[in-house]
């Protein structure tokens, strides 16, 4: 409960700081940069180091790939039926197909499942969400902005991403004991992820773009927060027989709101930026209601 209160306070603080003008408008970019380059790598080095790499631990990494494919099929079909603009379909695929499995997902996992679930959450995020973003996500963004990234650009983005580098380092160091001082430093740095991420999201929250986008927002969030997690739960539980703690974490991550970075990429490629921003911001707000419900539903696995 304390962690949930912390997340809510940080989100509200971000909103108030924007309204007060006490922080520059570029603050979210700075906060996100610190999270990507410091907080998340530190947490990755700490959490992955203590994981047991079994087939049960690696299975959750498949979920974001299936999630993105499901989103692409769904929004292409619905977009054709509803005659949605091309850019709108692209924005919905990007934000509805990739979850906020790190900035919000890891703090939420810690809040609902404890630190024991963080390792599985990072596996979902790094081997799943990040790889999807860096390959399929970038490709879709290039397609809907009338361009296409080269294979070299995709590979460079992957290998130079700090959390991915820290993931590889953590895997190589699994059999090596960290000195106590390193563990303490990584712990303190990793602890900054939750408050800074929610502060950044709260600061960037702008409800003014809601006019004219309500129907599309409801469509996107209805899929991301309810329909997609339900389909994935049925597939993994009844199709593949997935059960236990790792399955709960995987499906809980599937219920996360849209990925912040996916919204940023949509905006940078001019793929319906207002809708992409609304999907990210309102997704976080509504997830404070939907995620506790999913925790109850998944508790029986």
Mean of the pLDDT values across residues 154-179? 82
Q: Is 109 exposed, middle or buried (0-12, 13-18, 19+ CB in 10 A)?
A: buried
Mean pLDDT of the chain: 87
pLDDT at 97: 96
Q: Which pLDDT band holds residue 155 (cuts at 50, 70, 90)?
A: confident
User: Do residues 104 and 287 make contact, with C-beta atoms less than 8 angstroms apart?
Assistant: yes
How confident is the model at residue 53, as a pLDDT? 64
pTM of the model: 0.80
pLDDT value at 222 more than 80: yes
Per-residue pLDDT of 87-129, as tens digits, reads 999 999 999 999 999 878 988 898 889 888 888 898 898 788 8
> What pLDDT, on the 0 to 100 scale, is given for residue 148?
58
């Amino acid at each position: 409960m304390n962690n949930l209160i912390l997340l809510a306070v940080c989100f509200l603080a971000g909103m108030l700081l924007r309204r007060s003008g006490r922080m520059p408008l570029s603050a979210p970019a700075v906060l996100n940069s610190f999270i990507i380059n410091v907080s998340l790598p530190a947490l990755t080095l700490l959490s992955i180091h203590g994981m047991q790499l079994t087939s049960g631990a690696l299975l959750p990494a498949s979920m974001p790939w299936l999630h993105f494919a499901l989103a692409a099929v769904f929004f292409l079909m619905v977009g054709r039926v509803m005659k949605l603009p091309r850019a709108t379909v692209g924005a919905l695929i990007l934000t509805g197909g990739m979850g906020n499995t790190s900035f919000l997902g890891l703090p939420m996992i810690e809040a609902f499942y404890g630190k024991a679930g963080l390792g599985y959450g990072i596996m979902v995020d790094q081997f799943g969400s990040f790889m999807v973003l860096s390959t399929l996500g970038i490709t879709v963004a290039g397609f809907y902005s009338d361009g296409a990234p080269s294979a070299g650009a995709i590979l460079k983005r992957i290998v130079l991403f700090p959390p991915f580098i820290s993931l590889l380092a953590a895997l190589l160091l699994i059999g090596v004991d960290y000195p106590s001082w390193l563990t303490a430093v990584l712990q303190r740095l990793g602890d900054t992820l939750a408050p800074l991420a929610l502060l950044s999201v709260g600061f960037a929250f702008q409800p003014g773009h809601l006019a004219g986008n309500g129907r599309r927002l409801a469509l996107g969030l209805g899929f991301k927060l309810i329909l997609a997690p339900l389909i994935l739960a049925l597939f993994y539980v009844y199709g593949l027989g997935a059960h236990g703690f790792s399955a709960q974490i995987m499906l809980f991550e599937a219920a996360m709101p849209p990925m912040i970075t996916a919204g940023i990429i949509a905006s940078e490629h001019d793929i319906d930026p207002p809708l992409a921003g609304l999907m990210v911001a309102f997704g976080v707000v509504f997830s404070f209601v939907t995620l506790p419900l999913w925790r109850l539903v998944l508790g029986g696995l």
